[in-house]
Amino acid sequence: MGRQRTIGPDDARSWLLVNGARTELFDVAHESRADQIVLDIEDAVDPAHKDEARDGVLSWLADGEKKAWVRINDHASPFWADDVAGLAGAPGLLGVMLAKTEAAEHVTETFDRLGGATPVLALVESALGIEESVNIARARGAFRLAFGSGDYRRDTGTSADDLAMAYPRSRLVVASRIGGLPGPIDGPTVSSSHPVLREQTAVTVSLGLTGKLCLDMDQLPVINEVISPTPSDVAWARDFLADFDARGQVIRDGSDLPRLGRARKIERLANVFGVQPS
């Protein structure tokens, strides 16, 4: 049956993209440390081989024992209708990642064609998508937002500099909050350097994003570690909550409520991710 994932998609930190045309990688990815895996039949697959890749993904999902998300082609592409028709009702399908989402209707039409129960993770990859992100986050069927940072840079001419990329990331964070969604998922780091990955993932966390796309299984431990609460954070949270309970849960001043909210969030995530206090 393979590995059973314990981190649900609401909290998932690492989202491993797997080439949908390379079925030999599916089992390896499924056994990896990724919180969630995404079989990619969009950018990873040549247009001439889309049908073959889709069939391979459907075959792997067919028995329902192995589960994954699938990145499907964008709403405007000639492949979108076949993707949703083929995946509707697939036993192992956890949800779809909709490429190049630029309107709420793209989400709702995908959601409806999949049967009205399959979550849609909206991948926002353009200037228009960023500006429409609040409407996208509010769309029926929207589960979470993700940032297609490479295509966004291509669309806008923006550099990969942290300052230049802060605006679109922050827009997705704000839109997710307004739409009542979990925190958004950041784009991937292309570099194979772990120090670079650690630094870029720390920027992800600092801006309020709570997950990250991943292209390489070697990156998974770093992403999972950096996005998780630190042991010292967990120690602070548990000490604060113990003190709060000991004083009868009395609010002393205006700083207590924000600290209480932060402590409870850290405590919840520590339990989800299995982080122990230092």
Of 138, 221, 148, 121, nearest to 180 by C-alpha is 138
- What pLDDT was estimated at residue 91? 95
Q: Is the per-residue pLDDT at 251 higher than 70?
A: yes
Q: pLDDT-based confidence at 4, cuts 50/70/90?
A: low
80-87 and 104-113 are packed helices; what angle lies between their axes, rounded to 10 degrees? 40
The DSSP annotation for 60-95 comes to HHTTSSS-EEEEEPPTTSTTHHHHHHHHTT-TTEEE
The values of phi and psi at residue 95, to 5°, are 170, 175
- What pLDDT was estimated at residue 124? 98
Mean pLDDT of 24-40: 97
Q: Is the per-residue pLDDT at 134 higher than 50?
A: yes
- What pLDDT was estimated at residue 3? 65
Q: pLDDT-based confidence at 207, cuts 50/70/90?
A: very high
Q: Is the per-residue pLDDT at 1 higher than 50?
A: no
Of 140, 135, 141, 206, nearest to 176 by C-alpha is 135
Rounded to whole angstroms, how far apart are CA atoms 115 and 110? 9
Q: Mean pLDDT, the chain, as a whole number?
A: 96
- What pLDDT was estimated at residue 236? 96
Q: Are 128 and 105 in contact (CB under 8 A)?
A: no
- What pLDDT was estimated at residue 192? 87
Domains of the chain: 14-227 (3.20.20.60), 231-273 (no CATH)
pLDDT tens digits, residue range 161-201? 999 999 999 999 999 999 999 999 999 999 889 999 999 99
